[in-house]
Amino acid sequence: MSAEYKFRQPVYVAEVNLSALLDAGESPARYSPLPRYPSVARDASLVVDRRATFAEIRREALGMNLENVKGVELVYVYEGERVPEGKRSVTLRVEYRSDERTLRDEEVDATHRRIVEALENKFGAQLM
Protein backbone atom coordinates (compact mmCIF):
# COMPACT_ATOMS: atom_id res chain seq x y z
CA MET A 1 0.00 0.00 0.00
CA SER A 2 2.84 2.43 0.81
CA ALA A 3 4.23 1.89 -2.70
CA GLU A 4 1.03 3.35 -4.15
CA TYR A 5 1.63 6.61 -2.29
CA LYS A 6 5.39 6.64 -3.01
CA PHE A 7 6.50 7.13 0.59
CA ARG A 8 10.25 7.56 0.87
CA GLN A 9 10.50 5.89 4.27
CA PRO A 10 9.03 2.66 5.59
CA VAL A 11 5.50 2.92 6.92
CA TYR A 12 4.58 1.14 10.15
CA VAL A 13 1.14 0.34 11.50
CA ALA A 14 0.25 -0.56 15.07
CA GLU A 15 -2.97 -1.58 16.76
CA VAL A 16 -3.50 -0.70 20.41
CA ASN A 17 -6.18 -2.46 22.44
CA LEU A 18 -7.35 0.35 24.71
CA SER A 19 -9.81 -1.94 26.50
CA ALA A 20 -6.94 -4.08 27.74
CA LEU A 21 -5.09 -0.98 28.92
CA LEU A 22 -8.13 0.34 30.77
CA ASP A 23 -8.85 -3.06 32.35
CA ALA A 24 -5.27 -3.36 33.60
CA GLY A 25 -5.99 -0.98 36.45
CA GLU A 26 -3.84 1.75 37.87
CA SER A 27 -0.41 1.30 39.34
CA PRO A 28 0.59 3.53 42.20
CA ALA A 29 3.07 6.19 41.20
CA ARG A 30 6.50 5.51 42.62
CA TYR A 31 8.35 8.48 43.92
CA SER A 32 11.73 8.81 45.46
CA PRO A 33 13.18 12.23 46.12
CA LEU A 34 16.31 13.36 44.37
CA PRO A 35 19.46 12.56 46.32
CA ARG A 36 20.41 15.25 48.76
CA TYR A 37 24.13 14.58 48.50
CA PRO A 38 26.21 14.19 45.32
CA SER A 39 27.31 10.85 43.98
CA VAL A 40 30.86 9.98 43.04
CA ALA A 41 31.78 7.72 40.14
CA ARG A 42 34.95 5.70 39.75
CA ASP A 43 35.89 3.75 36.64
CA ALA A 44 37.85 0.52 36.58
CA SER A 45 39.27 -1.05 33.42
CA LEU A 46 39.82 -4.74 33.95
CA VAL A 47 41.14 -7.47 31.68
CA VAL A 48 38.95 -10.52 32.24
CA ASP A 49 38.36 -13.88 30.64
CA ARG A 50 35.99 -13.64 27.67
CA ARG A 51 33.63 -16.10 29.37
CA ALA A 52 32.98 -13.70 32.25
CA THR A 53 29.79 -11.75 31.54
CA PHE A 54 29.00 -8.23 32.66
CA ALA A 55 25.99 -9.58 34.57
CA GLU A 56 28.27 -11.86 36.63
CA ILE A 57 30.75 -9.06 37.28
CA ARG A 58 27.98 -6.64 38.26
CA ARG A 59 26.31 -9.22 40.51
CA GLU A 60 29.63 -9.85 42.28
CA ALA A 61 30.28 -6.14 42.86
CA LEU A 62 26.76 -5.40 44.09
CA GLY A 63 26.57 -8.67 46.01
CA MET A 64 29.28 -7.45 48.35
CA ASN A 65 26.57 -5.21 49.88
CA LEU A 66 29.06 -2.45 50.55
CA GLU A 67 27.67 0.69 52.07
CA ASN A 68 27.26 3.62 49.66
CA VAL A 69 27.59 1.55 46.45
CA LYS A 70 24.57 2.60 44.41
CA GLY A 71 25.22 1.05 41.02
CA VAL A 72 27.56 -0.57 38.52
CA GLU A 73 27.39 0.25 34.81
CA LEU A 74 29.19 -1.07 31.77
CA VAL A 75 31.11 1.73 30.06
CA TYR A 76 33.18 -0.01 27.41
CA VAL A 77 34.31 -3.41 26.16
CA TYR A 78 37.43 -3.83 24.05
CA GLU A 79 38.88 -6.89 22.35
CA GLY A 80 41.86 -6.53 20.09
CA GLU A 81 45.46 -5.42 20.11
CA ARG A 82 47.25 -5.39 23.46
CA VAL A 83 44.57 -7.63 25.00
CA PRO A 84 45.67 -11.26 25.37
CA GLU A 85 43.91 -13.98 23.39
CA GLY A 86 40.78 -15.22 25.15
CA LYS A 87 40.51 -12.03 27.22
CA ARG A 88 38.71 -8.72 26.93
CA SER A 89 39.04 -5.32 28.53
CA VAL A 90 35.92 -4.25 30.41
CA THR A 91 35.50 -0.75 31.80
CA LEU A 92 33.03 -0.46 34.67
CA ARG A 93 31.67 2.66 36.33
CA VAL A 94 30.76 2.30 39.99
CA GLU A 95 28.54 4.94 41.59
CA TYR A 96 28.95 5.79 45.28
CA ARG A 97 26.62 7.96 47.35
CA SER A 98 25.58 8.38 50.95
CA ASP A 99 22.12 9.46 52.01
CA GLU A 100 23.51 11.16 55.12
CA ARG A 101 26.50 13.17 53.92
CA THR A 102 28.99 13.93 51.17
CA LEU A 103 31.53 11.14 50.81
CA ARG A 104 35.25 11.83 51.13
CA ASP A 105 37.63 10.70 48.41
CA GLU A 106 39.50 8.43 50.83
CA GLU A 107 36.30 6.54 51.66
CA VAL A 108 35.36 6.09 48.03
CA ASP A 109 38.88 5.03 47.06
CA ALA A 110 39.00 2.40 49.84
CA THR A 111 35.62 0.92 48.86
CA HIS A 112 36.56 0.99 45.18
CA ARG A 113 39.78 -0.86 45.96
CA ARG A 114 37.78 -3.56 47.79
CA ILE A 115 35.51 -4.04 44.77
CA VAL A 116 38.43 -4.25 42.33
CA GLU A 117 40.24 -6.74 44.59
CA ALA A 118 37.11 -8.90 44.85
CA LEU A 119 36.77 -8.93 41.05
CA GLU A 120 40.44 -9.79 40.69
CA ASN A 121 40.01 -12.73 43.07
CA LYS A 122 36.71 -14.01 41.65
CA PHE A 123 37.39 -13.59 37.91
CA GLY A 124 41.19 -13.47 37.75
CA ALA A 125 40.81 -9.90 36.47
CA GLN A 126 43.79 -7.64 36.03
CA LEU A 127 43.55 -3.90 36.51
CA MET A 128 44.74 -2.04 33.42
Closest CA to 11 of 3, 19, 2: 2
Per-residue pLDDT of 54-70, as tens digits, reads 999 999 999 999 999 99
Its pTM stands at 0.74
Please provide residue 56's backbone torsions phi and psi, each rounded to the nearest 5 degrees.
Answer: -65, -45
Question: Mind listing the pLDDT tens digit for each residue in 26-59?
Answer: 888 888 899 999 999 999 999 999 999 999 999 9
Of 9-13, 79-83, 95-99, the poorest mean pLDDT is in 9-13
As to burial, measured by CB atoms within 10 angstroms (0-12 exposed, 13-18 middle, 19+ buried), residue 51 is exposed
Q: Does domain 35-127 have CATH number 3.30.70.1230?
A: no
Res. 4: pLDDT tops 80: no
Alpha-carbon distances of 100 from 85, 106, 111, rounded to whole Å: 45, 17, 17
Give me the residues paired with residue 68 across strands. Answer: none
Where do the domains of the chain lie? Answer: 35-127
